[in-house]
Amino acid sequence: MSTKQRNLDGKTAIVTGSSRGIGAGIAIELAERGVRVVVNHVSPRSAKSGEQVVEKITAAGRTALLVQADLASMDGIQKLVQETVNFSLDKKIDIVVHNAAFGDDCYLEDVTEEFYYKQTDTNLKGPIFLTQAILPHLTTSGGRIVLLSSISARMAFTSQTVYAATKAGCEALARCWSAALGKKYGATVNCVNPGPVGTEMYWESDPEFLKSMEPIIEATPAAPRVGEVSDIVPLVARVDTQALCYESEFSQSLGQEEIFSTRLTKSAQESVDPSSSGFASLAAQMRFCYYILPPPPGPRVENLA
């Protein structure tokens, strides 16, 4: 087992919406690295697929707990947090990955109040109040919070008025929380912005949206194809490890050429070659830079080891 894996042994993570797709991949990857993973699914309909994720994790000798909780509900959020605390070895929560999302397409002319709240409750209310609820239980040795955004936050897909707004909101949350939670809780907050990934939710999208993605996919330099879950998972796992213990508000677009990031304190700007990063599967010409924060005073680094 690698050092990276040992650093995560025994830690506890919540991965929301992890009964399938990207969330399932993230849950399995974190479990492989030694994390005790709470696999969250929203409704009874997704119970079977959630059970399959847990079975895959436990079959590999790792530990996982399946929790049904609707993140659009305050009761559901409290249930998820309490069951996670009970599941944790030290009653602390180390990692939260906000992956759950309601992503149905709808043109502006057809948006109803019900549709609006269904998306915003899951995609924005859920992350906000789940993060609020875990703060009293967040590890003091540097927690990790990751939000899943989407290229829809930055591109004009006409059928995604509400969805795009919620995903842009996730990026705004990362910026706000990286400042607020970094100073007060020693936590990092990062946002991963996937391009088109061939999950069930993607293939169930509006046909016009899928057609609009074709030229974007064809223009991707390294591999003109729809992304795979395995393209996204390593990056999310990376921001949950010690490697980014001083990096916060890291927003990366996968499948597009734009990657940007900012940091709480800008020092020692460093350009990174994505070809050596292990997660530049889709775009050979992806560019990004990040800021390395100087280690803070105190024992936090030792606690992370």
Q: What confidence tens digit (pLDDT) does each residue in 192-224 have?
A: 877 655 556 655 666 766 676 666 656 555 555
Q: Which residue has the higher pLDDT, 290 or 58?
A: 58
CATH of the domain at 205: 3.40.50.720
Q: What is the pLDDT of residue 230?
A: 59
Contact (Cβ atoms closer than 8 angstroms) between residue 174 and residue 189: yes
Domain count across the chain? 1
Whether 163 sits among the annotated catalytic residues: the reply is yes
pLDDT of residue 151: 75
Residue range 57-86: average pLDDT?
A: 98
Among residues 18, 19, 88, 150, the one annotated as catalytic is: 150
Q: What's the domain range around 32? A: 3-304
Torsion angle defined by CA atoms of residues 117, 119, 125 and 130, in that order, rounded to the nearest 10 degrees = 140
Q: C-alpha angle 8/88/34, rounded to 5°?
A: 25
**Between residues 217 and 252, the one the model is more confident about:** 217
152 given a catalytic annotation:
no
- For residue 143, which amino acid is it? G
Indicate the pairing of strand 259-261 with strand 250-254. Answer: antiparallel
**pTM of the predicted protein model:** 0.74
Encoded tokens for 223: 């591999």
Mean pLDDT in residue range 124-129 = 98
Catalytically annotated residue among 19, 141, 149, 253:
149
150 is catalytic: yes
Mean per-residue pLDDT over the chain, rounded? 74
Q: Find residue 144's DSSP bridge partners.
A: 95, 188
Paired strand residues for 158? none
Under DSSP, the state recorded for 39 is E
Question: 19, 163, 248, 261: which one is catalytic?
Answer: 163
User: What pLDDT shows up at residue 121?
Assistant: 97
Q: Look-up: residue for tokens 């842009």?
A: 168
pLDDT in the model for residue 124: 97
Q: For residue 114, what are the contacts with CB-CB under 8 A and spacing of at least 6?
A: none
DSSP H or E run through 116: helix 113-120
Reported as a pLDDT band with limits 50, 70 and 90, residue 1 is: very low
What's the rounded Cα separation, in Å, for the pair 290 and 259? Answer: 10
Q: Select which of 11, 92, 125, 167 is catalytic.
A: 167
Distance between CA atoms of residues 63 and 177, nearest Å: 29
Q: Which amino acid is at 119?
A: Q
Own/partner long-range contacts of 205-212 (Cβ < 8 Å, ≥24 apart):
205/103, 205/105, 206/105, 206/159, 208/158, 208/159, 209/105, 209/157, 209/159, 209/160, 212/157
Element spanning 280, H or E: none
Could you tell me the two tokens for 4? Answer: 């990276």
Q: Classify the phi-psi angles of 186: left when phi > 0, otherwise alpha if psi is within -120 to 50, otherwise beta.
A: left
pLDDT tier at 160, thresholds 50, 70, 90:
confident
